[in-house]
Structure 1
Amino acid sequence: MFVFLPSPSGPGTGVPFHWHGPGYSEVIYGRKRWFLYPPEKEPHFHPNRTTLSWVTETYPYLPEEETPLECTIRPGEVLFFPDRWWHATLNLDTSVFISTFLG
């Protein structure tokens, strides 16, 4: 198990689509928007572009069958992401969060 210490991040920052083993993310302060796809449904994204650019330039034009599952987690909420699920995050506010990876 890997545990990352709380990490502050500003609005509009985030992590582009990627996957790894299962884990949890908990928001301590702010809000974090998550976009998720199951392992068999690889998202359309450019690995060198930010999540914010994907949200503004690609996401609005996705056909309904290609839209991700999504949610926004707030302070005190925890999100579990399964093994090998594609996911990207976008901080909506200055955010502090903890991510724990199981493995």
Structure 2
Amino acid sequence: MEQLNGAVAFGIAGSGSGVPFHWHGPGYSEVIFGRKRWFLYPPDKTPHFHPNETTLAWLHHTYPALPLAERPLECTLRPGEVLYFPDRWWHATLNLDTSVFISTFLG
């Protein structure tokens, strides 16, 4: 997967949208408006997912069947909150509301 060095991304996304599991270099994500749910796995734990499945579909079909020990770390970011994601950590996002966010990818 390509790493974005020093890039900043601004986004507006609708409720129920998101990004399926992927990884890249380290960075930060801040929510300006709305709520964004994050699912994270460390580099040594590859999540069970289909690359063409949306995060919402994964949450409805795969997540409920996962044993507790195999579930990801999770959090929900609200306006003004920032999440640091380390290098090569698997992560997926789900916008719980219409969301406005900024992501900064470190080099």
What corresponds to 1:39 in structure 2?
43
What corresponds to 2:96 in structure 1?
92
- Deviation, 1:86, is 0.1
- Deviation, 1:65, is 1.2
When normalised by structure 1's length, the TM-score is 0.98
Counterpart of 1:100, as a letter, is T
Supply the distance in 1 between the matched residues of 2:11 and 2:89 (Cα, whole angstroms).
22
> RMSD value over aligned CA atoms?
0.5
What corresponds to 1:17 in structure 2?
21
Structure 2: give runs of 5+ residues left out of the alignment: 1-5
Structure 1: give runs of 5+ residues left out of the alignment: none
Task: Give structure 1 regions of 4+ aligned residues with deviation exceeding 6 angstroms.
Answer: none
1:68 corresponds to 2:72: yes
Counterpart of 1:11, as a letter, is S
Number of residue pairs matched by the alignment:
102
Counterpart of 2:7, as a letter, is F
- Give a deviation string over 1:78-100, Cα, whole Å, max 9, x none: 00000000000000000000000
1:55 corresponds to 2:47: no
What corresponds to 2:8 in structure 1?
3
